[in-house]
Chain A
Amino acid sequence: MFENMSGQSIAVLGAALAAALAGCGSAIGVGIAGKSAAGVSSEKPELFGKLLVLQALPGTQGIYGFLAAVLIMVNTGLLGANVTISVATGWSFFGAGLPIGIAGLVSGIYQGKAAAAAIQLTGKSPDNFVKGMTMTALVETYAILGLLVSILLIFGIPVA
């Protein structure tokens, strides 16, 4: 089924996966954290600001995926510039989109769970808000590494 695909369409698949998978991860993660935050807000509405920050933390994966997708689009000429992409290069871009896509999906979900726990922590003792935030941020490291690999790959792929 791949014979008739141009290099560019394969690259599009890569960009789509990067944005979609990481976006799903963030959506699930923010959703998990949101449920927890809503519960805590019902008892302690004054913590809303802090809870919102914790809920937003798993949202970065989606941004990273979006970022990688835009970089692929820019480098493959989907946004104006006129470049021809060979099938092999297309597959390279496809591969380059995967690290942030997959790492973003999984880390987004698990960061959401950590954020939910941090929200409960904040609900019980608001002073420990930053500790919870740090614990949640540790999960994001792996999405950042995924993004890093994706970026380095995207910039490393030679385009004619």
Chain B
Amino acid sequence: MIVPVKKLKLVVLKEDEEKVLKALQRVGEVMVISTENTHESLDASKEENFVQRTQKSLSVIKPFKEKEKLKEKFSHLIVVDYKDFVNPDSNKPDDLLTKIEDADNTISRLKAENDAANEFKKSLLPWEGLTGKLSTISKSKFTVIHVGFIPLKQLEQFKEIEKNFKGELQYLGQTTDSQAVLIANWKDDDASEMDQFKTVGFVEIALPNVDKTVKELMSEKDTLVAANQKVIAETEAHLKEWAKQEESIKIFSDEMKTVTALKAAPVQTTVDTVYLEGWIKTSRQERVVNAIKSATDTFDYEFVDPEEGENAPVALENNKFASNFEPITDMFAHPTKDDMDPNPVMSLWYWVIFGIMMADVGYGIILFLGTLFIKKVMKPRGSFGKLINVFFLGSITTTIWGVVFGSYFGAELIPHIWFVPQDDPITMLLFTLIIGVCHLSCGLIMKCVMQFKSGHPLDGIFDQISWVLVLVGGSLTLSQFCANMLPTQPTIPPIVMTVGEIIALVGIAIILFTAGRKAKGIGKVVGGLKGVYNITSYLSDVLSYARILALAMSTAIIGFVMNMLAGMVGGTPIIGIVFSIIVYVIGHIFNMAMGLLSAYVHDSRLQYIEFYGKFYEGGGLDFKPLTLEYKYVNEIKDGK
């Protein structure tokens, strides 16, 4: 449910600023907001810089980490004392970060150098046959020397021209597509003959003008590459050593993140005082005051109610069950202060429908154990932790519906309690549509309650209750028609149908006469008819719940198919049995994963579009208090 908030206005001495903010951050109940003339309380650029540097360094040392054992990977939690966490000593990590950054720079510089050297070597390869020093390839008084490439495709034509050539020509090595050539020519004939060579594709290049042979140049580069490799290996060994201190970097990163959040809190300052405003839950006033008292004796404060039209955050407080479903609503939209918190009601529907969609005892138990393991060992926090809790809770309904429908890993090991959906799809279809009628009616009633509370009871009756009457009355009217489709074909007492017809007609009458009440003149009639025409959208809303049947059956039948496939390959002894176990395990894991994804997505969809469409608007500001920010650290001991 939505709990009221109050605005805290606080004045403290400037010298106490950091202490007070620290206390507020620790208690985690105040959402500090920016107002006119506020600025970031303290300069956080140093810490922000540290956050970025730690993240860079963590990604650098990641490949050099020693392989953790699977057990350690999951069970190793980082726990820090509060005192250590908020009083970080930045010198030691700074040193380590600098070392890691230097190492990273060195490695990338040397690697680039090696790449360039190898590239250079490759370009020299065709010229390996030149035995003389490269500086000797140059003009003399009577001769000119050219080096260059002929495309292999045009080599034949080149050789044609060569027949009339008076100078000297030497063929050297080849690259993939061209031939290296050295041409020594008489200076006088040079221009015209070179033109001829160029017409068949000769491209002149310049070799480095150094006092060394090609071989010498190449071995020089080899030495350089080898030396660089050695340095890289040494540096990587250092990185491996430093990677052992990964945890301290992680902790430092979180410490800096927390300090950044603290220092970025918006405040106003005078010469000697600091003023800040923030929202708190009304029930936490005393806690907050005590927290401030623990930091300073000199302060003044005031709690005020939000003003009309002020964009106050909407704080939620739900019980242990419903609070886990809050992120699902927040993904759609956070409630506004005029909304009713939909979580308490939505969570129950979500929970039940999730179970029907999965509906298998085997999957339920695996999901239960899996999420329990994650909860106990990895201790997830935040919205991911809540998602795990949703699955954890969902595993219970999955198991219950599995018992009801008699599904145990896709096989009916224990006889069903109610019916088996895949043997009796019509019953299942009707059951899901009835769930739809109830779910939609529930949404309409929620809207009606909101309208009663906000002083528009007639709107509630005309727009919401009328449709509940139509939905319920219509279902009762159709009950015999539906019952005839059931395998048992039960007879419904005719009175039920008569009552249903009356209820539905009353509902339609209300809509017909009231839906156009806000329009004028002829619009009143048109509005009424338009209102009744809305029945088509309700029809499609109800039919949308048939997806529960489709998903429940696809989980059940694919499980059944996997059992069948496993049974088919299990015929031959030993090898067959091994294969059959593999098929069985992989098949069921696959089915469960797909079922889980579908149930999560389609259950959310039913809440967002069908259910929330009836009463919920959302779009409010989330209540996000200033707290300790940590991502890598798993737990901070309060150390009080």
Contact (A60, B331) CB under 8 Å given A67-B558, A151-B425: no
A137 CB–B CB distance under 8 Å: yes
How far is B550's CA from A157's CA once the two chains are assembled, in angstroms? 18
Hey, what's the 0/1 contact readout for A119-157 against B, CB within 8 Å counting as 1?
A: 000000000001101100110110011011001100100
Tell me if B426 is interfacial: C-beta within 8 Å of chain A.
Answer: yes
Given contacts A134-B604, A137-B605, A152-B429, A53 and B550 within 8 Å (CB-CB): no
Say whether A47 faces chain B, with CB atoms less than 8 Å apart: no
- Per the CB 8 Å criterion, the residue count for chain A at the interface is 27
User: How many whole Å from A8's CB to the nearest CB in chain B?
Assistant: 19
A134 near B605 with CB under 8 A, answer: yes
Q: Which of A63, A131, A138 contacts B558 (CB 8 A)?
A: A63
The answer to the question of B542 belonging to the interface, with a C-beta cut-off of 8 Å to chain A, is: no
- The reply to whether A63 and B594 contact each other, CB–CB distance below 8 Å, is yes
* Contact partner, A144, options B546, B564, B594, Cβ 8 Å: B546
| Pair A67/B557 contact, Cβ less than 8 Å | yes
Q: Cβ of A67: which chain B residues have Cβ within 8 Å of it?
A: 553-554, 557-558, 561
Please, which residues of chain A bring their CB within 8 A of the CB of B602? 137, 140
Instruction: Find chain A residues with CB under 8 A from B561 CB.
Output: 66-67, 70
Is A57 close to B, CB under 8 A?
yes
CB <8 Å contact, A57 and B331: no
From A60, A71, A148, B598 is in contact (CB under 8 Å) with A60
State how many angstroms separate the Cβ of B534 from the closest Cβ of chain A.
19
Distance from B58 Cβ to chain A, minimum over Cβ atoms (Å): 12
Contact of B547 with A by CB under 8 A: yes
Tell whether A138 pairs with B605 under 8 Å between CB atoms, given A53-B597, A79-B564, A131-B331.
yes
Contact present for A130 and B605 (CB under 8 Å): no
Q: Which of B595-640 contact A (CB under 8 A)?
A: 597-598, 601-602, 604-605, 608-609
Q: Is the interface on chain B under 10, 10 to 19, 20 to 34, or 35 or more residues?
A: 20 to 34
Does A93 lie at the interface of the complex (its beta carbon under 8 Å from any beta carbon of B)? no
- Smallest distance from the beta carbon of A27 to chain B beta carbons, Å? 16
Closest to A150 in B: B550
Cβ contact within 8 Å between B553 and A151: yes
Cα of A152 to Cα of B550 in the assembled complex, Å: 10
Beta-carbon contact of B546 and A148 below 8 Å = yes
B425 touches which one: A137, A140, A145, A155 (CB < 8 A)?
A: A155
In the complex, A145→B550 CA distance in Å? 8
CB <8 Å contact, A57 and B429? no
Whether, in the assembled complex, B544 has its beta carbon less than 8 Å from a beta carbon of chain A, the answer is yes
Question: Are the C-beta atoms of A70 and B550 separated by less than 8 Å?
Answer: no
Inter-subunit contact B546/A145 (CB<8 Å): yes
CA–CA, A66 to B558, complex, Å?
A: 9
The interface residues of chain A lying within 8 Å CB-to-CB of B609 are 138
A-facing residues in B540-574 (Cβ within 8 Å)? 543-544, 546-547, 549-551, 553-554, 557-558, 561, 564
Please name all residues of chain A whose beta carbon is closer than 8 Å to the beta carbon of B426 when the two chains form the complex.
Answer: 152, 155
CA A56 – CA B601 in complex, angstroms? 12
- Interface status of A91 (Cβ within 8 A of chain B): no
Kindly provide the distance from the CB of B571 to the nearest chain A CB, expressed in whole angstroms: 13
B543 cross-chain contacts in A, Cβ below 8 A: 145
Q: Does chain B have a CB within 8 A of A64?
A: yes
Tell me which residues from 67 to 86 in chain A have a Cβ below 8 Å from any Cβ of chain B.
67, 70-71, 79
Residues B550 and A147 in contact, CB atoms below 8 Å apart: yes
Contacts of B557 in A (CB 8 A): 67, 70-71
When distances are taken between beta carbons in the complex, the residues of chain B under 8 Å from A64 are 550, 554
On whether the beta carbons of B429 and A147 are closer than 8 Å, the reply is: no
Interface mask (B264-290 → A, CB under 8 Å = 1, otherwise 0) = 000000000000000000000000000
Closest to A70 in B: B561
19 contacts between A and B (CB under 8 A): A56-B594, A56-B597, A63-B554, A66-B561, A67-B553, A67-B554, A67-B561, A70-B561, A134-B601, A134-B605, A137-B605, A138-B605, A138-B609, A141-B544, A145-B546, A148-B547, A148-B550, A151-B550, A152-B426
Interface residues of B (CB under 8 A from A): 331, 425-426, 429, 543-544, 546-547, 549-551, 553-554, 557-558, 561, 564, 594, 597-598, 601-602, 604-605, 608-609
Q: Sorted from nearest, which 6 A-B pairs have the closest CB atoms?
A: A130-B331, A144-B550, A137-B601, A144-B547, A147-B550, A155-B425
Known: A57-B601, A70-B561, A151-B550. 8 other contacts (CB 8 A): A67-B558, A130-B604, A134-B604, A137-B605, A144-B551, A148-B546, A148-B547, A148-B549
